[in-house]
Amino acid sequence: MKRLIIAMSGASGAIYGVRALQVLRAIPDVETHLVVSPSAQRTLMEETDVTWDQLKALADVLHNYKDIGASIASGSFRTEGMLVAPCSVKTLSSIAHCNSGDLIARAADVVLKERRRLVVMFRETPLHAGHIAVMDQATRNGAIIMPPVPGFYHRPKTIDDIINQSVGRALDLFGFDAGIVKRWTEADTSLDLSALTPTNRD
């Protein structure tokens, strides 16, 4: 069983975290550990039709945002790493400066100190010098900054096409082929997500 931490902070783009959880449920032997900030819960309500109960049901394990004694707060608890989707400026700043005041920041710091993979879907634009500085510092700490910037070579026809490509490419960085990426020069073998409801693993 491979474990992956999924964290959702309060930036716009809650659907990225939702979609990551949805597609990971279709990958055998992956155990997801979810942490959601209070601001992310509000953003989820504003931006999607996914309820809080539906989101919780997508994860194998749900951790309290304030529980810095959770399993994922310890380096001895083995994971493949952590995806922060979406990532707010506040969360990125905490990661960059090792400010472990909540479980998202603490788990991210653990992933970095254990030399595991931390992928951060930073959702902010335009950027000022402070944003660029914290991206630089987080990168120096070992994080991979991956803003969900859409590509267009795969000829997206819907918003879902754009979301799936971004999430699939993020999961690629952990070695998970989610079956939703349309790859350059390869035949289209994308996973059909039409039947993948928030609570349906198959």
Is 59 annotated to bind a ligand? Reply is no
Is 123 annotated to bind a ligand? Reply is yes
Is 89 annotated to bind a ligand? Reply is yes
Taking the C-alpha atoms of residue 106 and residue 56, their distance in angstroms, rounded to an integer, is: 21
Is 116 annotated to bind a ligand? Reply is no
Is 130 annotated to bind a ligand? Reply is no
Buried residues in 14-51 as b, exposed as e (16+ CB within 10 A) = bbbbbbbbbbbbbbeebebbbbbbebbbebbeeeeebe
Is 151 annotated to bind a ligand? Reply is no
Is 50 annotated to bind a ligand? Reply is no
Q: Tokens 């693993």 correspond to what residue?
A: 201
Evaluate whether 190 touches 181 at the Cβ level (below 8 Å).
yes
Is 90 annotated to bind a ligand? Reply is yes
Taking the C-alpha atoms of residue 102 and residue 37, their distance in angstroms, rounded to an integer, is: 9
Is 94 annotated to bind a ligand? Reply is no
Is 78 annotated to bind a ligand? Reply is no
Is 91 annotated to bind a ligand? Reply is yes
> Residues annotated as binding site?
10-12, 37, 88-91, 123, 153, 169
> Residues annotated as binding site for FMN?
10-12, 37, 88-91, 123
> Residues annotated as binding site for dimethylallyl phosphate?
153, 169
